[in-house]
Structure 1
């Protein structure tokens, strides 16, 4: 049985994701399609609009055979760490290929650029430091430094290109047998903020904004099971998960923390704790707060991740401990169909990572320790008794079938 992996957030699962699933099966001839999916918070430091169980259900309905969790210490991270976590899980599940969506569409450009980064690592890092000393953001410095060492094959200003590059780089660095493949994205761009009038493929960003504005009719842009799942969750739990809902909790955290405590939070560096402490006093919304803190050096995405770490109370020390092995430490299935179940049965005795369906077996794992805190923080905006019920479901829910 040939297994092929994809790395996803499905925030939420939409028609563009459905296209990716279908094209991946067609291009790779996959027998079992495995999705590694971010849990409660996403790579850009945003709360997922609905919990992982709902998004895993959407994935199964959309044609994925097995959905496994990408834990918080890898999910809410730079592209490099995000990729290493996801690749390590797919490698442990013996995936033959990893197929990612990209703006570029030619996998050879990713392989060429990844090898250049590995071969010229020291020179590239020196160039990054040079540009950052000029006040540039890490992302801008990274791109300019890559151009300086001889790269011109790939536009890494595009978000899916940069993720794809790091998937390929992680495969090489982990000496994995996984073969990379890519599907070119169509129509909607990652950052598109408005729904297209003449097409049924929209970005997840625009779909979320539409839902969060109080409109719920996104049926044109998502498969029917996604639409039903979204409606059911909204009806049951009365809310979407977005930063506006979490802002009062974030404000409380920052107002009651000492500057030294903020300094210990993951990704807080170079005095940004003082800007956070000063700006939160006057901010009346999450958008206003980040606008006041943002600088050329600190991008919106990086600040969102810092805020997520503040919200979840994840420290540098905890994150360092979780990353000691630089790879995932367990595999947690969230959902599977019969094909996924059968495949999991064939690999569970061979894989080097424990396959966990009951979290009591990993209570002392440093990766799960952070994941548990993140889940508890994620559920805090729900009214009681739904909050307590959601927490109970997190620990008691077996993989969806």
Structure 2
């Protein structure tokens, strides 16, 4: 059985994701679609609006055969680390292809870009340092370095978010010496950063989350599959919330104000004296949005600072993150859900897998598992106590969803 992998967050699963699933199968001729999906906190440093279990159901109801967990140690990272972790998991499970959405739609352009960057890596790194010293944020520094370095106008531009991730997927495949073949699907209609929902059936996840937060679920009904709409409504009805940063702000504020600066400095991604700015700005804020407006600087992007906030909230240190990411391959692969077709794939490829595939979190071991347990408990903290305790217990014993 041929398998195509997709790296996802599904926050939430929408019609654009459905289009990609269909295109990934058509482009590759794969029999099985496997997604590796971020767990509770995401690359932009945000909590997922609903649990990984609800998002797993959304995926399985719309053409995905296997859902694997992308652990916190990869899911809340810059593009390079995020991509390395995801590709390592897809390679370990036995994927033949990986498919990603892009503004380019041309996989050859990504391969040429990887080759171009390999030839100019030393010069590129030097330019990034120069622009960083000028006070540029890291994304702006890399973009400026690339523009100054580039002499061939035909080279793919490293400015669009999905092109950046696509570049790192192709680069990770090459560096890990994986046999996975990369493919790409051209994004349709909605731009990654688009913040308003149009009458079209495809909208960005950003605009969907904004509409949910500002109005109600009815506003997104035409841009998500029916199953997604129903699962969002069910989650909100059962737990009386959809997770946003505002639900965690009191806990974050308490964490910062009850921690000395030296301890804050040991938190992952807390660099260059940010511990002082975190403390001085958060004690004046009455909401997460208000704090971020005060905390934001030209040197650091909103996303970068949200990730730092996530690491503070989850008490994730530099030492343990470095230990967890020291290994190229994950210590285990966690299966969150599968269709019958996915089950067949798991059985047929069992003898070729070296990395343990676990179906219950109780079987997870090592620093990766220790971090994941802690961040899951933090993620569940806004729920009513009875739901919170129930979900914490379920996390250890719950079997994968079979759709």
When structure 1 is superposed on structure 2, of 212-221 and 381-390 the one drifting more is 212-221
Distance 2:347 2:51 in 1: 26
- 1:324 CA displacement: 1.0
1:36 and 2:70 are equivalent in the alignment: no
With normalisation by structure 1, the TM-score equals 0.97
Partner of 2:161: 159
Tell whether the 8 Å contact from 1:266 to 1:306 is kept in structure 2 after alignment.
Answer: yes
Contact 2:100 2:184 in 1 (8 A): yes
Paired position in structure 2 for 1:52: 52
Shift of 1:149: 3.0
Question: In the aligned structure 1, how far is the partner of 2:115 from the partner of 2:398?
Answer: 42
> Which residue in 2 is equivalent to 1:348?
350
Structure 1 residue 192 displacement after superposition? 1.2
- What does 1:2-401 correspond to in 2, within 5 Å? 2-150=2-150, 152=153, 153-196=155-198, 198-217=199-218, 218-363=220-365, 365-401=366-402
**TM-aligned CA deviation for residue 121 of structure 1:** 2.3
Shift, 1:147, TM fit:
2.8
Write out per-residue CA displacement over residues 47-86 of structure 1, whole angstroms, 9 at most, x where no aligned residue.
0000000001000011001010000000000000000000
The CA RMSD over aligned residues, in Å, is: 1.1
Structure 1: gaps of 5 or more residues: none
State the distance in 2 between where 1:355 and 1:136 align: 42
State how far apart, in whole Å, the 2-side matches of 1:118 and 1:95 are. Answer: 25
Q: Deviations over 1:254-305 (max 9, x none)?
A: 1111111110000110011110000011111111111111111111000000
SS in 2 for 1:6: strand
The 1-side partners of 2:367 and 2:322 are apart by 9
Instruction: State the alpha-carbon separation in 1 of the partners of residues 95 and 127 from structure 2.
Output: 35
C-alpha distance in structure 2 between counterparts of 1:116 and 1:323, whole Å: 27
User: Could you list the per-position Cα deviations for residues 177-219 of structure 1 after superposition, in whole angstroms to 9, with x for gaps in the alignment?
Assistant: 11111001011111111111x2111111111111122412121
How many angstroms apart in 2 are the aligned matches of 1:72 and 1:253?
20
TM-score after normalising by structure 2: 0.97
| Cα distance in 1 between the residues matched to 2:173 and 2:14 | 27
Shift of 1:312: 0.6
In 1, the alpha carbon distance for the partners of 2:328 and 2:254 equals: 33
Match of 2:208, SS? helix
Between 198-207 and 208-217, the greater mean CA deviation after superposition: 208-217
Partners in 1 of 2:269 and 2:328 — Cα distance?
17
Q: Contact 1:117/1:146 (CA < 8 Å) preserved in 2? A: no
Instruction: Name the CA distance, whole Å, in 2 between partners of 1:329 and 1:117.
Output: 30
Distance 2:134 2:250 in 1: 35
Structure 2: how far apart are the matches of 1:23 and 1:137?
A: 35
Q: Could you tell me how far 1:359 is from its partner in structure 2?
A: 1.9
Question: How far apart, CA to CA, are the structure 2 residues paired with 1:146 and 1:87?
Answer: 24
Q: Indicate conservation of the 8 Å contact 1:11/1:55, yes or no.
A: yes
CA distance in 2, matches of 1:399, 1:223: 22
- Give the distance between the partners of 1:329 and 1:194, measured in 2 at CA: 40
Residue 120 of structure 1 and its aligned partner are, at CA, apart by: 2.6
2:3–2:34: 8 Å Cα contact kept in structure 1? yes
SS at match of 1:385: helix
